[in-house]
Chains A and B, each alone.
Chain A
Amino acid sequence: SQKIEQNSEALNIQEGKTATLTCNYTNYSPAYLQWYRQDPGRGPVFLLLIRENEKEKRKERLKVTFDTTLKQSLFHITASQPADSATYLCALDLSGGGADGLTFGKGTHLIIQP
């Protein structure tokens, strides 16, 4: 069966450390993989997109890797801050270009402790 798994429901990280979130998927072949941030009671906010032919993408303190052989993406936040505390969602774009809807994981609740 098809599924997307994100590591643990909650991840506690000390401020200043690097937070690493995992997204594993089974029986999908996404053209793109995206990461979103969602705060309580709010819609998702786009962070990064990585294509199937890309290994790594960076944006400021964020880094995403994509391994299509392992069917895994890692999302890193360096020099983490309490303001980074939120739920982070992994989403698969199966067709590429957003022509179809996205398939989301349940998310990882990240808590950055001062």
Chain B
Amino acid sequence: GAVVSQHPSWVICKSGTSVKIECRSLDFQATTMFWYRQFPKQSLMLMATSNEGSKATYEQGVEKDKFLINHASLTLSTLTVTSAHPEDSSFYICSARGWSGAGYEQYFGPGTRLTVT
């Protein structure tokens, strides 16, 4: 089946530093990947849509200069949280759009827990 990995699985950083999170589709190519954020006991909120070779599309209220997304290949998208602050602490989850045989589906990664101190 389609597998999506994320690295790192958790990270702790100091306020003001930047953190990069990788999302990889391991056994399929994904022209579209998505980044979500989930706060405790809350729903996953879509942050941005990442298309290979083009600029990401950000949801309303998400700062594109703070959350830099790069989708340089068909199997890798990265999210960089720049100048992180404690309020950026959250669970970041990516998904990749792939063909299931019966239609397109989104396959989710295991998530990255970011804690900013």
Q: A residues near B, CB below 8 A?
A: 4, 9, 36, 41-46, 49, 89, 97-107
Contacts and interface: CB of A to CB of B under 8 A. Distances in A.
Nearest to A90: B43
Interface in B18-44: 32, 34, 36, 41-44
Interface SS of chain A: helix, strand, loop or mixed? Answer: loop
B46 interface: yes
Interface residues of B, number: 27
Interface in B61-101: 91, 93, 95, 97
Contacts of A105: 43
A98 B46 contact: no
Interface of B: 4, 6, 32, 34, 36, 41-46, 49, 59, 91, 93, 95, 97, 103-111, 113
A100 B42 contact: no
A46 B110 CA distance: 12
